[in-house]
Amino acid sequence: MLIAGNWKMFKGPHETRAFLAGFRPPDDVDVVICPPYVSLAAAVDAGVTVYAQNAHWERDGAYTGEVSAAMLAELGVRGSIIGHSERRQHFCETDETVRLRAEAVLDAGLGVIACLGETEGEREAGATEEVLRRQVAVLPEHERLVIAYEPVWAIGTGRTASPQQAQEAHALIKSLHAAQVLYGGSVKPDNAAELLAQPDVDGALVGGASLDPTSFLAICFAAR
């Protein structure tokens, strides 16, 4: 079971060190921390498994503001989230750039958590399966690639896919790709156990609830 905490644009180095100083997740659950770029080194120094929140597909070049997978590896980062819905929504991420980023990170010897999921409009239009099939189709088959199903309508809204909805989506994704599949979308201590109990849910990508050590630890222990 894998539990990843996506801190988004929260927690600089000082807050990261304070959070991780007393963070003791269970030994039998794989836990990944995904802080912002400026806090990656602090998290690596704390001895936890660290993923970035994004990585460019080129090794180097004139790409102001971007960071390559090779740079992340040199820092001691173990992988990266790729294609998060906020990247797709706010920064023009496409299925093609998700593929390029994922391949570059894997080629650098790192792990990938590749995010996908439908919007509220797509679900209401009955297009969930079509969207998931399209998004999965671009992802490479690789032992270090994990998929995170994150229904966009459940991210930062307080709404969560029902366990049945999550299970149906995960089963579809697993019929298309051999990767582990995490659920992401308003995962909290009070719904984590039920979501993680679904047969095709292999863990969680946790957003807001990962910012508080007490709630994040509760989710990690629920994964046991």
**SS3 sequence, 125-141?**
CCCHHHHHHHHHHCCCC
pLDDT per residue as tens digits for the range 177-197: 999 999 998 899 999 999 999
Q: Is the pTM of this model over 0.95?
A: yes
Rounded Cα–Cα distance for residues 95 and 91 (Å): 13
What's residue 190's pLDDT? 95
pLDDT per residue as tens digits for the range 202-218: 999 999 999 999 999 99
Q: Number of helices (H) and strands (E), helices first, in the chain?
A: 10, 8
Catalytic residue numbers read 84, 150
Residues of the chain with pLDDT under 50: none
Domains defined along the chain, listed by start: 2-222 (3.20.20.70)
